Chains A and B, each alone.
Chain A
Amino acid sequence: MTITNILTALRSLAIAIAVWWIIVLVASVPAYLLPAPDAVAARFVFLTQTAELMKHIRVTLTEIGAGFVLGGLLGVAFGWLFVRIPLLGRLLSPLILLLQTAPKIAIAPLLLLWLGLDMGPKITLIAIVTFFPVMAGAAAGFAAVEKPYRDLATLLHLGTWKRFRRIELPFSLPPILAGLRIASTQAVTAAVIGELMGATYGLGYLLSLGQENGDASVVIVAVLILSAIGWGFHEVIRLCERRMLSWHTSQVTLDASV
């Protein structure tokens, strides 16, 4: 992400806000439907000052972070196990597929029933949506480690951990990171779903609060913050990809296209 890119993004943002403002002024949209940008900004400052907004953000970020790490680690571990023990993969993959195809919004009430209104059910839901793309990527990556490289590991008497750490994991990083990148946007959605269903804190809770009070500006503040979180998260993973995969051809082509 270069300075030019940031400037371009800022310019697009400025244009969008200007268009928003003009629409509100010219069409004289009532504030309870679409408040003007300055009203939203004022609401943001107000929410920050009452100190609650920061707590909402912190709770959502914690849920996303914990769920993402948990789902990511489990995804890599199961991807590895399924390649290593094909029988386990055949036994468990129908169950995992079932879990994956079930709409997340349908699982959320169940998780809330089981785990309460705290962060637990949200973290679990985020871990579930993170798990699948990471597991699929990891399994594809581990399965694609070519035989000569496995021969090399045998030749050097590498134990299971060193084999994993020094050969299999680096080879599988491109699909694992691609899986994490897909998961990163889904994780934010999952956090919101969980919080909408029932919570005492979090940006999703703030959304439902705004809706109940008929306060569109609160909803818009929450949506904007959630977008910023999703975008930042995605960029962090892109940065990891560029740093860790500079040896890989995918980065050359990606940099050219994006």
Chain B
Amino acid sequence: MITIRGVHKEFSINGASVTALSPTDLDVSRGEFVSIIGPSGCGKSTLLRILAGLEKASGGAIAIEDGSSSRQRVGFVFQEPVLLPWLSALENVRFPLDTAGVSRAEADNRALQLLKLVGLSGFEAALPRALSGGMRQRVSIARALSYDPSLLLMDEPFGALDLITRDRLNDELLSIWAQTKKTILFVTHSVEEAAYLSDRVVVMTPRPGRIKSIYNVSLPRPRGESTKLDPAFHQLMAELRRDLI
């Protein structure tokens, strides 16, 4: 699905060259859930932003293979919801379709389905300021899914939420992933989140940012409360924590 070869990123601050990302190789298969974890400044967000086309790599090659021919292959969820405050929840979800010239009826239909998928039926007309932080992030996820991208990039999407909301959204994300069969690349700095959600966990280290190791997560799916009691889950979290130091 995604093939990353030798992608790296340097930028200069006051003439001094800083390496944000050392040459990096990574393969992600279709339908896989891969988390990237690491401390601040390890280049995990940079890698994600390069994949989304928000930043240019200094070199290397990225190939995103995709069965569909849609122009918009990548959905992106930011740490903040980034909703347009003058649009209702429904209009925010519809926004990418509206600006792409999709017909009103089709866009409405799609947005209604997606709001239902993220558990926000009944909040179609609400403005973002009337929604809680967790609900706003759900709208943001629905918006990223609106144009049906095969790849979903998530940049610490639940980092600004409280732990209870975060746990609930993790479960909802797994259910959305199971229903939509998207490929998800998920950046986080929470060891628990990475272990709970992923098929594979990529550990990165800072200065210069590079991939240190990759873990296969063999915990059975569907995951839930029993996963959190599984000794293997705790074993994995301990290994990840040790690796991050």
- Which of A's residues lie within 8 Å of B, judged by CB? 148-149, 151-152, 154-158, 162, 166-167, 170, 247-249
Contact = CB atoms under 8 A, between A and B. Distances in A.
Contacts of A170: 84, 86
B52 interface: yes
Nearest to A151: B54
A156 B97 CA distance: 9
Nearest to A165: B99
Contacts, number: 40
B121 interface: no
B72 interface: yes
B141 to A, nearest CB: 14
B82 A158 contact: no
A157 B73 CA distance: 12
A188 B62 CA distance: 60
Interface string B119-147: 00000000101000000000000000000
Contact of A166 (B53, B76, B99): B99
B215 interface: no
Given A155-B53, A157-B72, A166-B99, A247 B82 contact: no
B31 interface: no
A152 B96 CA distance: 9
A151 B78 contact: yes
B59 interface: no
B152 to A, nearest CB: 12
Contacts of B95: 156, 166
Nearest to B147: A156
Interface string B96-110: 100110000000000
A132 B127 CA distance: 33
A151 B78 CA distance: 9
B127 A155 contact: no
Nearest to A162: B99
B194 interface: no
| Most chain A beta-carbon contacts within 10 A, residue among B54, B74, B129 | B54
B221 interface: no
Contact of A247 (B53, B71, B72, B85): B85
| Most chain B beta-carbon contacts within 10 A, residue among A154, A155, A170, A249 | A155
Given A148-B80, A166-B99, A247-B127, A154 B85 contact: no
Contacts of B100: 156
B98 to A, nearest CB: 8
B126 to A, nearest CB: 11
B86 A155 contact: no
A67 B100 CA distance: 36
Contacts of B85: 247-248
The 8 closest A-B pairs by CB, nearest first: A247-B86, A148-B82, A156-B96, A247-B85, A148-B78, A151-B54, A170-B86, A155-B76
28 contacts: A148-B82, A149-B82, A151-B54, A151-B76, A151-B78, A151-B82, A152-B78, A152-B82, A154-B53, A154-B54, A155-B53, A155-B54, A155-B74, A155-B76, A156-B72, A156-B95, A156-B96, A156-B100, A157-B72, A162-B99, A166-B95, A166-B99, A170-B86, A247-B85, A247-B127, A247-B129, A248-B85, A248-B86
A249 B127 CA distance: 12
A248 B128 CA distance: 11
Interface string B49-82: 0001110000000000000000110101010101
Given A151-B76, A158-B99, A247-B85, 11 more contacts: A148-B80, A151-B82, A155-B53, A155-B54, A156-B99, A156-B100, A162-B99, A166-B84, A170-B86, A248-B85, A249-B129
B82 A157 contact: no
